[in-house]
Amino acid sequence: MSYEGWIILTGSLVGITCGLTGCFLILRRMAMLADAISHTVLLGIVGAYLVSNSLDGIYMFAGALVVGLLTAFFIQLLHSSGVQSDAAIGVVFTSLFALGVILVSLYAGRIHLDVDHALMGEIAFVPWDTLTIAGIDVGPRAVWMLGAVLIINLAIILLFYKELKICSFDPEMALAIGIPVMFMHYLLMGMLSITTVASFDSVGAILVVAMLIAPGASAYLLTDKLSIMLLLSAGIGVASAVLGYYAASLFNVSISGMMASMAGILFILTFFLSPKHGLVMKWFFRRSLSKESNGLQ
């Protein structure tokens, strides 16, 4: 496949994976946890590197998963000890992130990890970092990683679709009918962590938040059904990635930044033009209603 093809494939995989995970976060009102975990994953990666001395995929996943779950756990802990939830999120993620950045700077000589790269990602280098199995070049490492994570996420969503759905819309009922709500919470946090770390290489830790939240938020304005929302969100994710890539090559700017901006632009479009919840439609509806009532008088 061509260089361009690989990049678009990587971006699309990020869009689908993040889009799917993001829907549940939005519905459960945990969007800021995505922000928190995407920051703290840096600490996980640095920690994994310091422990294992390699930047191998599997160590990064393990480190990110551990720190991601720890972040969720700390936030829960602070919250249950009486700190309001937004402050708990703010304190935990900033401190863990700060620790990660300091570790990176401390071991700057030893570590092959650059903070700017970690934050903003560099999808343009993805096609060169290829994976070889039994002497055959099978394509970029990032594509395989994202593909694996996507399959894991899809498996989790298909397996626990009903549980995730009930937990998202009615946690009290989920608790009442015996769904392990806490387990589902940490399952989702685990999904979020591995999604973040897989996307980390290509779009970077911070921009992954845009890919997690923006497509889901747009889809949320377009439909009332969870299954359709998931599909739409994945589709919008892919669209942002593809559009972002072409816009970026047009202006010669950061691809991941442009993908985030595109996701934002697509959201603005849905915000105004959505057939059900869009501002324009609401305005038309209100106007026709007031005309009708004027006609009645």
Please give the residue ranges that form the binding site for other proteins (CB under 8 A): 26, 29-32, 34-35, 39, 81-84, 86-87, 89-91, 94-95, 97-99, 101-102, 105-106, 108, 115-116, 119-120, 206-207, 209-210, 212-214, 216-217, 220-221, 248, 251-254, 256-261, 263-264, 267, 271, 277, 279, 282
Reading the block at residue 197, the tokens are: 């770390």
Taking the complex as a whole, how short is the minimal distance between the CB of residue 238 and other proteins, in angstroms? 17
Q: Dihedral sign for Cα 7, 10, 13, 15, please.
A: negative
- Of 62 and 248, nearer to other proteins (C-beta) is 248
The region that residue 137 occupies, defined by phi over 0 for left and psi between -120 and 50 for alpha, beta otherwise, is: beta
Taking the complex as a whole, how short is the minimal distance between the CB of residue 67 and other proteins, in angstroms? 16
Gyration radius of the chain's alpha carbons: 21
DSSP 186-229: HHHHHHHHHHHHHHHHHH-TTHHHHHHHHHHHHHHHH-S-HHHH
Taking the complex as a whole, how short is the minimal distance between the CB of residue 95 and other proteins, in angstroms? 4
- Of 62 and 219, nearer to other proteins (C-beta) is 219
Taking the complex as a whole, how short is the minimal distance between the CB of residue 116 and other proteins, in angstroms? 7
The span from the CA of 158 to the CA of 135, in Å, is 35
- Of 57 and 171, nearer to other proteins (C-beta) is 171
Taking the complex as a whole, how short is the minimal distance between the CB of residue 136 and other proteins, in angstroms? 35
Taking the complex as a whole, how short is the minimal distance between the CB of residue 22 and other proteins, in angstroms? 9
Taking the complex as a whole, how short is the minimal distance between the CB of residue 297 and other proteins, in angstroms? 29
- Of 214 and 238, nearer to other proteins (C-beta) is 214
- Of 72 and 259, nearer to other proteins (C-beta) is 259
Taking the complex as a whole, how short is the minimal distance between the CB of residue 97 and other proteins, in angstroms? 7
- Of 83 and 181, nearer to other proteins (C-beta) is 83
Closest CA to 21 of 198, 257, 273, 240: 198
Helices (H), the chain: 3-27, 31-52, 57-80, 85-106, 115-120, 141-159, 161-169, 171-176, 181-203, 207-222, 226-251, 255-273, 279-296
The span from the CA of 14 to the CA of 169, in Å, is 26
- Of 54 and 95, nearer to other proteins (C-beta) is 95
- Of 54 and 105, nearer to other proteins (C-beta) is 105
Reading the block at residue 184, the tokens are: 């589902």
For the chain, the distance separating the N- and C-terminal CA atoms, rounded to the nearest angstrom, is 67
Q: Cα–Cα–Cα angle for 164, 230, 226, nearest 5°?
A: 55
